[in-house]
Structure 1
Amino acid sequence: MKSIVYYPADSKDAREVEREIRPYLTGKGVEVVTVTSKDDLSALPSGVADGSFILSLGGDGTFLRASRLSTQLGLPVLGINLGSLGFLTDVEENEVYTSLDAVLAHSYTVEHRLVLEARVVREGQDILTTTAINDILVVRDLTGKILTFEVFIGGVRAGQITADGILVCTPTGSTGYSLAAGGPILDPTVEALVLTALAPHDFTSRPLVISAGSEITLKVKPSRDKAAFIRDGERVGDIHSFDTICVTRYPQDVDIIRLREKNFYKVLGAKFHWGH
């Protein structure tokens, strides 16, 4: 059995937790591999055994990065909350050892959440492909001009949107940036995506809830300025005029380890004060 421990390299608290749990896990026969960047491929194991898992040490942002690693390796991920909100993570710092014992005893359930895959196409060539747990966002730079997109859903032209940006999110991401932009909250078990315009230049470009099986295509109309391509809050590229962004459901869901029943609506009330 192997445990891949993922944490941000600049987090002193996460480093201290990793140092504490490493001997605990190795003492129970678990091989521990520490990764501080999803791109640090040399640190990843060449093979995994039954019962192997990823341990995320940090807040929700760290958990999102660890979850993308989870989909690449096909391993479930457990989140230890060292951040402030902890909406996605399942375990608090004072529960680490009892939680690890439960995982090693296989005393947990797995929650499946859908993942996005996005391709940026320029002059007929794929120049970037990535996955996202929360959302894919194309947004103007701070001093850039407003953007115009042609929107296609399932290959059918749905319309044209002029806005500061546009994002596609999963049900998991519906409580993030999309919510702040006026999008709906989706139950994480719903098989759907949300398309939300950011500060649209009209009154009709309302958020859309779309079947998770549909491909969403965004064609960028001519603009003098480049735009930012952002995945789960991280800028990973630039978007130019005439680029096409294709967003679909990734074939591999992320598998989240749950050690206890976690009711979405109770968490929504506790963390976001919904209905209070």
Structure 2
Amino acid sequence: MTASATAEGRRQYPSILDDRRRAVVTGAAGVAALGLLARVLIVTLVNAPTGPTAAVVEPVAVGATALAGAGTICFALTETDPVAGVGLLFVGVFGLLSLAVPAVAVPAAVAVVGGTATVAITRRDRLPTVHGVAIGALLVALAVCLASGVGGVTALRPAGSTLALAAVAITPAVAAPTTRSLLDGGVATAAVVGVGLSLPFVVGAITLVAGGVVGTPLPVVALAAGGAVTAASAAARRREWLLLAGITLVAGAGVPATLGRAVPFALGVATLALQEVDR
């Protein structure tokens, strides 16, 4: 092998590693997102009049959280920035630990918020301003919601719920929506408003059991649904699967007032921050 060929191989090697890393994190985030969607679907069905037994809810919920924690650790092990990697490890390890040892809930909540914030901070100089604002809003919502739930500051619960959904509503800022995706989001927003006005108790029950939404006005719920659909539609049309997984995680997690919701929400925030740099 000639010296020039060796040099060429060395130049190509980092790009191969980058491709492999992207495949790993996309797969990890995608599996976690699918697990979260399964939880949302099963919780909704269980609370329907003729739904299945509630005995299946807890194992599915634990499984969804475990997948998100494991996915975050996969992110950490492939992360090239050591500071961001440590932050991701805190989220994943403490998220999994909280499933086995409920007594560590408060330290785990601090670790989840701190670890996610660390990832966002390491990327702040490389993110467009509008993307940074959207990710920052999601991070603030995560902190407020965990303070209201795990931290016991119950007075913050309605504000945290509204803040979380408002943050999801602006996720199209990270997805560069097209006209078609904006139309999809508009239809979703109108549908939620229509159903909410005609069947308010049904919508209230669904958002409570599936999303943990408490005290949030219908317009904010509708805007969150429209924002999530807009961002997901834009990502799907461009085949940006990592972005789609991130949107699914932050939207499907609901209000992250419990660690079971906060861990996938945190993985979603980290996914949005990481994919914006690696696109």
TM range (shorter): under 0.3
Higher relative contact order, chain-length normalized (CA < 8 Å, sep 6+): 2
TM-score (norm 2): 0.27
Name the one with the larger strand percent. 1
